Amino acid sequence: MAAVLELLLQDEVAASAVVRWLKASQSPCAVEVKRAAPPLLHPALGSSGKYPGKRKRREGKKTGRPLEVSSSGGMLSGKLQPSGQNITFIAKVEAQDLLRKPTVKWFKGKWMDLASKVGKHLQLKETFERQTKMYTFEMQIIKAKENYAGNYRCEVTYKDKVDSCSFDLEVHGLILIFFINNSGEGQEDAGELDFSGLLKRREVKQQEPEEPDVDVWEILKSASPNDYEKIAFQYGITDLRGMLKRLKRTRREEKKSAAFAKILDPAYQVDKGGRVRFSVELADPTVELKWYRNGQEIRPSGKYIFEHKGNERILFVNNCMLTDDARYHVTAGDEKCSTELFVREPPVIVTKGLEDTKAYIGDKIELSVEVSEDDANVKWFKNGVELPLDSKSRYKVKVEGKKHTLIIEEGTKADNATYSVMTTGGQSSCKLKVDLRPLKILHPLEDQTVRLGKELSLKCEISENVEGKWYKNGQLLQPSDRIKIYHKGRIHRLIVDKSLIEDDGEYMFVPDAYNVNIPCKVHIIDPPKIHLDGLGDGNTVTVVAGTKLRLEIPVSGEPAPKIMWSRGDKWLMDPAARIRADNYPDSSCLVIDSAERDDSGVYRIMLKNEAGEDTAHINIKVVDIPDPPAAPNVVEVGEDWCIMNWEPPAYDGGSPILGYYIERKKKQSSRWMRLNFDLIKETTFEPKKMIEGVAYEVRVFAVNAIGTSKPSEPSKPFVPLAVTSPPTCLAVDSVTDTTVTMKWRPPDQIGAAGLDGYIIEYCFEGTEEWIVANPELTDKTKFTITGLPTGAKIFVRVKAVNAAGPSEPRMHPQPILVKEVIEPPKIRLPRHLKQTYVRRVGEAVNLVIPFQGRPRPKVSWKKNGAHVDKNQINIRNSENDTIIFIRKAERIHSGKYDMKVKVDNLVDRATIEIQIVDRPGPPQIVKIADVWGENVALEWQPPKDDGNANITGYTIQKADKKSMEWFTVIEHYHRTSATITELIIGNEYFFRIFAENMCGLSEDATRTTESAVIAKDGKVYKNPVYEDFNFNEPPMFTQPLVNTYAVSGYNATLNCSVRGNPKPKITWMKNKIVIMNDPRYRMFGNQGVCTLEIRKPSPFDGGTYTCKAVNSLGEAEVECKLEVKGKVVSMSPKLFLRGEEYRSGHEAYFLNVCDHSRELHFAICCCLVWMSEIKE
């Protein structure tokens, strides 16, 4: 790690300040500078003075860079500043080769981390300059004190590298002196940053002439521990703890003790309320040990706790008090060792000061302050004079733990003063101000609005019981018969009976002795009123449409009310509108120009003023001729007549309907003819004397007391026509359990209107309710009535319908029984299924067998006497046939299939024989029966498996031993023995035989175990006889599984090899669970090599995998562990490496790596893992 440390000591200095610097161990030199640049500690070149600072690394190596001090003028520069000002230390670290921010710690001495002291008097800051890539760390000491002197150290840490620089700080009166040491660690006598000293008031010490150097440590070595504090005070040592630690480490010649292997320290120091630990180590653990305090033996208790740890004896003193400041010693046999305990009492400081307080005469006043200690001694002062706190004093003090409260029971003007509190470590003050209590208006006067003649009452309430006066419009009010004034305590009241208009004005109440007035306003009002005496009952006004209405309404009220008219939610505000309101001081007039029927309704008039409001509703009724009726509807048509009806008009014109006029005309004509001269009160009429076949239209007029309405819309054109004659030849076509099919012929007389369709109706026997079977007309002469209950009897009738309406019905003379006629079942087996149905293995079987019967027969199948397995054979039944379907035939599908068709108790059966055939197996034992001359006699046995078909023959082949090429000798041979002739003398032959059926030759052939030698004439050679070797053996793994590491997302394979006879069955397991039907695994083997491929594994696929081999002679298994690591993200630039194919033929791909130095180690590790897996 390359780092540069720069130390900057800077502050505001006065011009021509004197600066003293100490270089190494030389004497200080004074330089006069004028606002010189602050000194920097950093590597630099030049003739400037050097301060050799060494930076140490934790691994034992040193940076070769010295620390140098340089200034802008080429000479040393510094500053002399008075005590109490700020000091800033700056450390700079170069970060060009660093990947992240280094860690910087500031220490005082060797153990105190200044990060825990950050606060009001110490601040730490850090910044980063992106251009120079330089980290800057600052430590600022605010208001430096003399006790801040000591050794400081700055330590920089980055990963496992550490660099540090230390320096000394001395504060002498008004002069600030810095030492930069050549050590990277704090000195043993380094002072601690004691911030408690910042709260103490110290006098500025005058610089004294230098005295001859005195070795304080030599004096302390020879002095008694009782004199340590005296010597430290004499020589200006403020860090007693650091002094004791250094004194402890000094090499003093101690007398060897026979009882103690380790004795007590010379002295111990502890804060009040803290815990101290005394420890000695015995040379002989059996020696009796006793502890003493000021010569008195210490007994175990809650305060004093003894512990034994091997040869070590420990005494703990808990909750140390000032009384525990004493001399302690421990005896072991005749020997003893002693020490002294110093208990330091912290000063009492003010944690929460007094606050300025305002109060009123007579109030209870409390001034509170909080200090750092419970039940501490606190003094109270008033204007600098201590307050008497005896029982006769007005002042009381209440103490609640750390909270102290000064109580004044009843405040007076004399209590106005500055109060202060003082403790051993601080003080606080506040100002108390006591004033006259101000007058408060608890309940002011309220503005009132009073109705004429009602009582006026004004009331107010103030905080003091004083007299007062009432005023009206600035005039003083005096009590009278009508005006009454009341005063009771703090409440003042004014009452005026039977208020008049003159009582309106501004009223005011003024309390005596106070410059305060309480005002209010009073307003006298009279509510408005509407006078409707001239209107009739119900406030209804009737007007004829088209005429003008002017309605005048008298009104009253004080002040003059505001008049508003409205109709519904709409206000009549427009003075130029057709409907408007004209308002006058004593009346209001509603005007409607040319009234319309829509103007009918309820109108509202509203009066409103300050006294209230009044509302009245007036009903305006506009009468007019009625609306035209709706278009008439012709409901029935005859040969020269029709029947029509209509709906009354939606609006009767505000007057009841007196009757109707009816008119008609021919459709081609425009002349209307009135049919009645007297009003018809009903809404039904029957016009007569019309011409058949001519289209007519009719319309209606409504009449009320005002007049006749406009005509209605004409009706739809209609033609007076006659209905057809009834249908003929109604008969039953067919009957089922739920349906009846009827057929008929058209009517004999249809007429000019034609025929639109037929309506079929039925009713059950014993009822008179006819049910329409077809909701819509049918134009066919045949119809099936559905949804009938089985066994019921119904009557059926049919009507012919045309424009004139339905004809007379044609009814079936007899009731019809709803029950299907039973037809015996019969299977119509196809001719090709009457003999054995043969199919080869793998072919589809699809058989359709028709049958007949009524009602629908029930079909059932059996195979060889058992029910058919529907999971293997599909059977579909319909009303007329049944289908048996096999998608891929197997030999197990062969057999006799029995089909049964049943209707009630009638049954028909059929049997179908299905034969699924396949190639036969090879013949059984083939042997050479005899060899003579050029002939060989062969014998064999038929195959065990004939392929479910007769063996039709055999095929015999021969092969010379030298070439082992097979040649067919005989084909389609039917016997189980044959003679092979015309063989070549001197050759040796093998023979094999195939079996043959209707599917072809067997897949395998049976070969002779021995060969036939066609020997020459002469001596016959006899082959030696050897015993057959037994090749059977239990399974044994020749290559075990190995532990494998895989990368997530890339296929992984596990390989092993096994041998055994008979061929063993291989089973793969994961974590002792058999792997079956899992698409993520692929298992295969070849020539004894077993492979398990795991496709794109994930960390979940990791575990113990086992390969198990089993045959009839035994079993064996091997196992390995598979660990799946997460996928490595490829890095750029990419470098692809591909290994050779290995084992099962899959390619091994190496991970992408990059040539960056910080990623090279990781990439090499990944490649080695893959290479080791390939090698295995």
Q: What is the pLDDT of residues 1051-1090, one digit of tens each?
A: 999 999 999 999 999 999 999 999 988 889 999 999 899 9
| Confidence grade of residue 34 (pLDDT, cut at 50, 70, 90) | very low
CA–CA separation, 1067 vs 1076, rounded Å?
A: 9
Is the model's pLDDT at 213 over the cut of 70? no
Q: What is the CATH number of domain 823-917?
A: 2.60.40.10
- Residue 574 Cα to chain centre, angstroms: 61
Tokens of 139: 């430590």
Nearest in space to 900 (alpha carbons), one of 872, 868, 930: 868
Alpha-carbon dihedral of residues 780, 782, 783, 788, nearest 10 degrees?
A: 170
Cβ atoms within 10 Å of 149's Cβ, excluding its own: 21
Is the model's pLDDT at 16 over the cut of 60? no
Tokens of 195: 């911030």
Minimum mean pLDDT range among 433-447, 670-684, 893-907, 944-958: 433-447
Which position has the higher pLDDT, 330 or 65? 330
Q: Provide the residue type at 619 as one letter.
A: N
Tell me if 84 sits within 8 A of 143, measured CB to CB: yes
* The pLDDT value given to residue 1168: 61
pLDDT digits (tens, 9 = 90+) for 84-143: 678 888 888 888 778 788 889 898 886 788 887 777 778 888 888 878 888 898 988 888
* The pLDDT value given to residue 71: 28
Q: What is the mean pLDDT of the chain?
A: 81
CA–CA separation, 1157 vs 1131, rounded Å?
A: 13
* The pLDDT value given to residue 41: 34
Tokens of 1168: 């080695």
Nearest in space to 150 (alpha carbons), one of 192, 202, 106, 116: 192
Is the model's pLDDT at 1097 over the cut of 50? yes
CA–CA separation, 306 vs 297, rounded Å?
A: 13
pLDDT digits (tens, 9 = 90+) for 629-644: 999 999 988 878 899 9
Query: What CATH class does 441-518 carry?
Result: mainly beta
| Burial class, 309, CB count within 10 angstroms (exposed 0-12 / middle 13-18 / buried 19+) | exposed
For tokens 């094999």, name the residue. 992
Tell me if 39 sits within 8 A of 9, measured CB to CB: yes
Mean pLDDT of all residues in 679-696: 90
* The pLDDT value given to residue 1019: 64
Q: Which one-letter DSSP state was computed for residue 1159?
A: H
* The pLDDT value given to residue 256: 64
Mean pLDDT of all residues in 962-981: 94
| Confidence grade of residue 970 (pLDDT, cut at 50, 70, 90) | very high
Mean pLDDT of all residues in 1087-1102: 92
| Confidence grade of residue 160 (pLDDT, cut at 50, 70, 90) | confident
Q: What is the CA radius of gyration of the chain?
A: 64
* The pLDDT value given to residue 406: 92
Helix (H, G, I), strand (E, B) or coil at 249: helix
The structure's pTM equals 0.30
* DSSP state string for 574-614: -TTSSEEEEE-SSEEEEEESS--GGG-EEEEEEEEETTEEE
Residues near 834 by beta carbon (within 8 Å), at least 6 away in sequence: none
Name the CATH superfamily for 350-435: Immunoglobulins (2.60.40.10)
| Confidence grade of residue 215 (pLDDT, cut at 50, 70, 90) | low
* The pLDDT value given to residue 1127: 63
CATH code matching the domain that covers 531-623, chosen among 3.60.20.30, 3.10.310.70, 2.60.40.10, 2.30.30.280 = 2.60.40.10
The CATH T-level fold of domain 633-704 is Immunoglobulin-like (2.60.40)
Angle at 1053 between CA 1049 and CA 1059, to 5 degrees: 170
The CATH T-level fold of domain 728-817 is Immunoglobulin-like (2.60.40)
What residues form DSSP beta bridges with 838? 915
CA–CA separation, 498 vs 393, rounded Å?
A: 62
Is the model's pLDDT at 146 over the cut of 80? no
Q: Do domains 633-704 and 926-1013 have the same CATH topology?
A: yes
Element (H, E) at 296: strand 296-297
CATH code matching the domain that covers 254-344, chosen among 3.20.20.220, 2.40.40.20, 2.60.40.10, 3.90.380.10 = 2.60.40.10
| Confidence grade of residue 250 (pLDDT, cut at 50, 70, 90) | low
Q: Which one-letter DSSP state was computed for residue 833?
A: G
* The pLDDT value given to residue 1018: 65
Q: Where are the domains of the chain?
A: 17-210, 254-344, 350-435, 441-518, 531-623, 633-704, 728-817, 823-917, 926-1013, 1031-1127, 1128-1176
* The pLDDT value given to residue 55: 37
* The pLDDT value given to residue 561: 87
| Confidence grade of residue 333 (pLDDT, cut at 50, 70, 90) | confident
CA–CA separation, 122 vs 691, rounded Å?
A: 124
Residues near 1026 by beta carbon (within 8 Å), at least 6 away in sequence: none
Nearest in space to 1053 (alpha carbons), one of 1090, 1078, 1104: 1090
Is the model's pLDDT at 280 over the cut of 60? yes
Phi-psi region of 170 (alpha: psi -120 to 50; beta: other; left: phi over 0): beta
Cβ atoms within 10 Å of 462's Cβ, excluding its own: 22
Cβ atoms within 10 Å of 708's Cβ, excluding its own: 16
Query: Which of 435-444, 819-828, 874-883, 1135-1144 has maximum average pLDDT?
Result: 874-883
* The pLDDT value given to residue 1021: 66
Instruction: Dump strand ranges (E) for 624-718.
Output: 633-637, 642-645, 657-666, 673-674, 684-685, 696-704
Largest CA distance in the chain: 182
Residues near 663 by beta carbon (within 8 Å), at least 6 away in sequence: 672, 673, 674, 675, 698, 699, 700, 701, 711
Which position has the higher pLDDT, 971 or 254? 971
Residues near 25 by beta carbon (within 8 Å), at least 6 away in sequence: none
- Strand order from edge to edge, sheet including 696-704: 673-674, 657-666, 696-704
For tokens 């001239």, name the residue. 534
Which position has the higher pLDDT, 437 or 64? 437
Nearest in space to 187 (alpha carbons), one of 225, 266, 243: 243
* The pLDDT value given to residue 89: 86
Tell me if 906 sits within 8 A of 861, measured CB to CB: no
Nearest in space to 807 (alpha carbons), one of 890, 889, 748: 748
Which position has the higher pLDDT, 514 or 1143? 514
Of all residues in the chain, what percent carry a pLDDT higher than 90? Answer: 42
* DSSP state string for 97-154: T-SS--EEEEEETTTEEGGGG-SSSEEEEEEEETTTTEEEEEEEESS--GGG-EEEEE
Q: What is the CATH number of domain 17-210?
A: 2.60.40.10
Is the model's pLDDT at 620 over the cut of 50? yes
Nearest in space to 356 (alpha carbons), one of 429, 437, 422, 435: 429
- Strand order from edge to edge, sheet including 633-637: 633-637, 642-645, 684-685
* The pLDDT value given to residue 978: 95
| Confidence grade of residue 27 (pLDDT, cut at 50, 70, 90) | very low
CA–CA separation, 156 vs 55, rounded Å?
A: 10
CA–CA separation, 905 vs 1059, rounded Å?
A: 67
Minimum mean pLDDT range among 42-56, 353-367, 661-675: 42-56
Tell me if 456 sits within 8 A of 450, measured CB to CB: yes
Alpha-carbon dihedral of residues 113, 115, 121, 125, nearest 10 degrees?
A: 130
Minimum mean pLDDT range among 58-72, 143-157, 989-1003: 58-72
Is the model's pLDDT at 1162 over the cut of 90? no
Minimum mean pLDDT range among 510-514, 619-623, 849-853: 510-514
Residues near 655 by beta carbon (within 8 Å), at least 6 away in sequence: 623, 626, 704, 705, 706
Minimum mean pLDDT range among 5-19, 133-147, 305-319, 460-474: 5-19
CATH 2.60.40.10 fits 1031-1127, yes or no: yes
CA–CA separation, 374 vs 366, rounded Å?
A: 20
Tell me if 187 sits within 8 A of 205, measured CB to CB: no
H helices of 875-960, in order, are none
pLDDT digits (tens, 9 = 90+) for 374-422: 888 889 999 988 888 888 888 999 999 889 999 998 888 888 999 999 8
Tokens of 63: 């940076």
CATH code matching the domain that covers 926-1013, chosen among 3.30.2080.10, 2.120.10.30, 2.60.40.10, 3.40.50.2300 = 2.60.40.10
CA–CA separation, 820 vs 836, rounded Å?
A: 37
Distances (CA, A) of 590 to 181, 554, 564, 587: 111, 12, 11, 10
pLDDT digits (tens, 9 = 90+) for 177-194: 443 443 333 333 333 344
CA–CA separation, 205 vs 175, rounded Å?
A: 11
Mean pLDDT of all residues in 798-812: 89
Tell me if 638 sits within 8 A of 720, measured CB to CB: yes
pLDDT digits (tens, 9 = 90+) for 716-774: 998 888 888 899 999 998 888 889 999 999 999 887 778 899 999 999 999 999 999 99
* DSSP state string for 671-686: --EE--SSPB-SSEE-
Instruction: Determine phi and psi for 448, rounding to 5 degrees.
Output: -130, 145
Is the model's pLDDT at 1131 over the cut of 80? no
* The pLDDT value given to residue 463: 84
* The pLDDT value given to residue 823: 84
CA–CA separation, 40 vs 438, rounded Å?
A: 66
Nearest in space to 1034 (alpha carbons), one of 1099, 980, 1108, 1085: 1108
Of all residues in the chain, what percent carry a pLDDT higher than 70? Answer: 83
Instruction: Dump strand ranges (E) for 705-819.
Output: 728-735, 740-745, 757-764, 771-772, 782-785, 793-802, 805-806, 810-811, 816-817
* The pLDDT value given to residue 2: 39
